[in-house]
Structure 1
Amino acid sequence: MGRGLSNTEPTRELGLSEATVKTHGAHVFAKLALRDRAQAVVLAYETGLVTPGGSDG
C-alpha cells in the first residue's frame, strides 16, 4: 500500500485473493484510524516505512 500498489498487484506477488488483500487493508485502516489509502501512504512516508522514489519492499 505504501508503495502505491493497487489491490490487484499484491495478489500476484503474494499469491492471495483480492478479497484477502482488501480485508487486510480494511484492518490496517481501522487499527491506525485511517480513512483511506491516501492517508495510509502519507503515514508510511511520515514514519519512514517507505521513501519517495525508493525501492522499499
Structure 2
Amino acid sequence: MCQARAWAKLGPEGREGLIRQTAYFRAQRRGFAPGSELEDWLAAEKEVDGAASVRH
C-alpha cells in the first residue's frame, strides 16, 4: 500500500492520536514543566501535518 493511502486510512482519530503522542514526547523532552502545553500541541500538529504533506 502506498504511503498516501496508508495516511488517508489513518483518519481524524488517528491524526489526533499522533498529535497527542508527539505533544507528549515534546513535553517529556522539556521535563513536563507546566505552561507550554499549547505550544507543544501546536508544534506537534504542525509536525504531524507536515509529515502528512510529505507523504502525499
TM-score by length of 1: 0.35
Higher alpha-carbon Rg: 2
Which structure carries more relative contact order (alpha carbon 8 Å, separation 6+)?
2
TM-score by length of 2: 0.35
